[in-house]
Amino acid sequence: MIQLSSSDDVPQNLEAARQVAAAAGRRGAQIVVLPENFAYFGPEAGRRAHAERIGDDQAPIQRALFEMADAANAVVVAGGMPEASSDPARPYNTALVVGPGRRLHGAYRKLHLFDVDLADGTALRESNSTTPGDETRVLELAGFRVGLSICYDVRFPELYRRLVAAAT
């Protein structure tokens, strides 16, 4: 699992991810997991601008992920990136899973969006800028059945009950 401090500079973020993924591969990692917002963390307008269609291996983020998987000789779980949706103002937050040889294992779109009201009156509404996913995802990776989720999903135990049922 990789820890990054991403910003709104996509090329810089992807280079940092490349370096740590390659280092993990040199140490024998079979699966490299990148955090949510690994490629872009900044204003929503930028997130929309960087949203990619899954399967476009020439799109900058996906191209970098395939290169990382090849360099590390490992599966890369891209913990959360902007994926274009039918609503251009609200891309998905998608965990994309790729492997060496430009293999697309699958993708998971974040189900539970971070919509909360804080005690100080601040309202945070991820749903204003993100389209929620509508299905769970379990993949076979390096001999394991792996259920995917992103950040705030961890607050919803029913999701993990469904993932366990699907994985067994």
Integer Cα distance of 79 and 129 in angstroms: 18
Helix (H/G/I), strand (E/B), else coil: 37: coil
CA 93 to chain centre: 7
Q: Assess contact for 23 and 16: CB atoms under 8 A.
A: no
Q: Which of 41, 43, 45 is nearest to 10 (CA)?
A: 41
Q: Assess contact for 30 and 75: CB atoms under 8 A.
A: yes
Q: Catalytic residue among 52, 83, 126, 151, which?
A: 151
36 catalytic residue (yes or no): yes
158 catalytic residue (yes or no): no
Which residue's entry shows tokens 């280079």? 15
52 catalytic residue (yes or no): no
Q: Catalytic residue among 83, 110, 140, 158, which?
A: 110
Integer Cα distance of 74 and 99 in angstroms: 6
Q: Catalytic residue among 36, 52, 67, 135, which?
A: 36
Integer Cα distance of 41 and 43 in angstroms: 7
Q: Which residues are catalytic?
A: 36, 110, 151
